[in-house]
Amino acid sequence: MEVQEELAGSDFIRDIVKADLAAGKYAPQAVHTRFPPEPNGYLHIGHAKSICLNFNIAAQFGGLCNLRFDDTNPSKEEVEYVESIIRDVRWLGYDWQDRMFYASDYFERLYECAIAMIRAGKAYVCSLSPDEIRSYRGTFTEPGKNSPFRDRSVQENLELFERMRAGEYPNGAHVLRAKIDMASPNLNMRDPVLYRILHESHHRTGDAWCIYPMYDFTHPLSDAFEGITHSICTLEFEDHRPLYDWALENAGNLPTRPQQIEFARLNLTYTVMSKRKLLQLVREGFVRGWDDPRLPTISGMRRRGYPPAAIRAFCDRIGVAKKDSTVDVALLEHCVREELNKTASRYMAVLRPLKVVIENYPAGQVEHMQAVNNPEDPASGIRQVPFSRELYIEREDFMEDPPKKFFRLSPGREVRLRYAYFITCTGVVKNEAGEIVELRCTYDPATRGGDAPDSRKVKATLHWVSAAHAAQAEVRLYDRLFSVEDPDRDGAGESFLDRLNPGSLETLCSCFCEPALAALQPGASCQFERMGYFCADPDSASGRPVFNRTVGLRDAWARIQQKNPD
Ligand code: ATP
Ligand code: MG
């Protein structure tokens, strides 16, 4: 797997792992990590950070990494999400071999642990309503109050818990709670709920259960069942760590004692990363689906044309830290460009066409011009591009009355057509409304291939396509989905939805591209010379390709780095 080469580097988590290995803490067992998504949405670039971290640490230290679905909330989880997560982790380049697990596989075992806790006097059935539980919990400044049900006998607790499982009570009638300390300064330790009643079908266990274990109970025990050594999670779980350890300590005999380690989650400028908000964007139609190329979802980035290697390189570059921060989305785009520059074949495509007729070029003649596929990759070879009397060039490459700094085509001016000839504009054809609809030009036959024998210079090189040979294409240009850097910030009655960029998608329906592009497979990437990196969209129908612009050629990150070298 390519991932190996990206394994170098160290950080505070790898330091902990190294120290544990040196001390023989888990010996003879190797390092064992897991990626534990809840199947209640599609994965995003933040998850990619966690995926790369967990799988790369395991690979770096000769260990294993599991994929585990944390599927304990049937009201929000769906098979569609499970399938998308499997697809996305694989696509990122990682392999869990035969170790794909579900927390729901452990429901019986978790239930046994709960029974053991009740027997040991560490858990009780509480019959306060959810509101009462909340008000008994206290606040950061005030201790909580004991539940009046806290001192139920073990016998009574066992009986009630069994009847909860048997479906004798409605949702909310009882919960199972840990018996820890209602006065703990850590609110998570104030007798947290371990199980709740939920009469809801589960996507895997069907109607077998009507009580479901809570995350803080399920997660540490699932880690222990799987022999996880380092349970890496995001910073918001730091305050849950005492409960994580408490659960492991009080669940009976467990094979291993995993260690929870927290790191800062990834935030990106111009991006929302909360699954709840992404779900809202999808459900309410602000985007076209979970794989909309404007979303930071893995499926969106795949459709947009981000190569998995670029996402891995990005995750590697941002590293892991203990302090929350926001990464400039320009860095992600920079990594995408770096990868595509190496791998994407170049083509010519005209997005906003303007017809050019070369008056001294014989009608009906076709020449095939040699074009380099990728100057960064000599092995990619060359291709033939048809040239003829009628061409399209980019509308913005012509100005009838150019300002001083405009060096491209204008009346009387000579420019180079890439791989072809020098042409000079001799006339402009307009429609009744006065709009330019066609240019008249002449070419110099002595400049074939793009160089003049008298070494006369031109100031611009334009891309073009032969009108008779071009394939018509639809091109979708994307801009940031949000028009502000921090769409999540609090602001006077405004929500993130008010900060959507109305110009985030521009669809161009009559673009013309080299004929070879019509055969590009959906998902394949290329560069349109001068216009950016693009990829063929699954919407491409035979003969009518659709392209997504992955990223433009101008590198905002490189400019930032030039200004502030570190
Ligand atoms: P929620 O739990 O609210 O549904 P979540 O984003 O935490 O959302 P999970 O499916 O629980 O989603 O996440 C799976 C793993 O990915 C967790 O270990 C989580 O810590 C990690 N993760 C989620 N978001 C990020 C992020 N932005 N950066 C890094 N890791 C993340
Ligand atoms: Mg989570």
pLDDT class of 27 with cuts at 50, 70, 90: confident
SS3 assignment, position 362: coil
563 is catalytic: no
CA-to-CA separations, 480 to 293, 483, 529, 551, in angstroms, rounded: 10, 7, 22, 11
Q: What is the mean pLDDT of the chain?
A: 95
Catalytic residue among 14, 196, 275, 476: 275
- The CATH label, of 3.90.1300.10, 3.30.300.20, 3.40.50.620, 3.40.50.1370, for the domain at 12-263 is 3.40.50.620
| Selected residue with higher pLDDT from 566 and 36 | 36
The whole-number pLDDT of residue 282 equals: 98
Q: Is pLDDT of 25 > 50?
A: yes
Query: Would residue 265 show up in a list of annotated catalytic residues for this protein?
Result: yes
Specify the pLDDT at position 28. Answer: 85
In which band, very low, low, confident or very high, does the pLDDT at 566 lie, cut at 50, 70 and 90? low
Q: Is 166 helix (H, G, I), strand (E, B) or coil?
A: coil
Instruction: Give the atom of ligand 1 at the shortest distance from the alpha carbon of 234.
Output: 20
Nearest CA residue ID for atom 10, ligand 1: 37
Q: Is 50 in the pocket of ligand 1 (CB under 6 A)?
A: yes
Predicted local confidence at residue 254, as pLDDT: 84
For 291-321, the pLDDT digits (tens) are 999 999 999 999 999 999 999 999 999 999 9
Give yes or no for residue 447 having a pLDDT over 60. yes
List the Cα angle 525/527/528 in 5-degree steps.
125
**pTM for the full model?**
0.94
Give pLDDT tens digits for 244-255.
999 999 998 887
530: left (phi over 0), alpha (psi -120 to 50) or beta: left
CATH architecture of 275-345+473-563: Beta Barrel (2.40)
Fold of the CATH domain 349-463: Ribosomal Protein L25; Chain P (2.40.240)
Per-position DSSP letters for 256-307, written without gaps between them: ---EEEEEPPEEETT----HHHHHHHHHTTSSSSTT-TTS-BHHHHHHHT--
Residue with tokens 């909360």: 274
Can you give the pLDDT at residue 555? 86
pLDDT-derived band of residue 477, with 50, 70 and 90 as boundaries? very high
The model's pLDDT over 38-84, given as tens digits with 9 standing for 90+, comes to 999 999 999 999 999 999 999 999 999 999 999 999 999 999 999 99
How far, in Å, CA of 123 to CA of 369, rounded? 79
pLDDT at 562: 78
Please confirm whether the linkage preceding 28 is cis (ω < 30° from 0). yes
Matching fold, domains 12-263 and 275-345+473-563 = no
Given a cut of 70, whether residue 6 has pLDDT beyond it is no
CA of 51 to the centre of ligand 1 (A): 10
Q: Would you kindly state where each structural domain of the chain is located, as residue ranges?
A: 12-263, 275-345+473-563, 349-463
- Is it the case that residue 1 has pLDDT exceeding 80? no
What pLDDT was estimated at residue 7? 52
Q: Which of 220, 168, 169 shows the shortest CA–CA distance to 194?
A: 220
Residue-wise pLDDT for 99-151, tens only, equals: 999 999 999 999 999 999 999 999 999 999 999 999 999 999 999 999 999 99
In the prediction, which pLDDT does 541 show?
77
Q: Which two tokens stand for residue 53?
A: 């971290």
Atom of ligand 1 nearest to the CA of 40: 4
Q: Whose CA is nearest to atom 27 of ligand 1?
A: 46
What percentage of the chain's residues is helix, strand, coil (to nearest 5)?
30, 25, 45
What's the pLDDT score for residue 2? 35
| pLDDT number for residue 3 | 36
What digits encode the pLDDT tens for the residues 209-233?
Answer: 999 999 999 999 999 999 999 999 9
Give the mean model confidence (pLDDT) for residues 418-432.
98
Task: Check pLDDT > 80 for residue 26.
Answer: yes
Instruction: Report the percent of the chain where pLDDT is more than 90.
Output: 91
Q: How confident is the model at residue 9 (pLDDT cuts 50, 70, 90)?
A: low
Cα distances from 138 to residues 147, 174, 191, 341, 420, in angstroms, run 12, 20, 12, 57, 78
pLDDT tens string 341-383: 999 999 999 999 999 999 999 999 999 999 999 999 999 999 9
Compute the average pLDDT of residues 509-533: 95
Asked about 49 being catalytic, the answer comes back as: no
Report whether residue 326 contacts ligand 1, using a CB cutoff of 6 Å: no
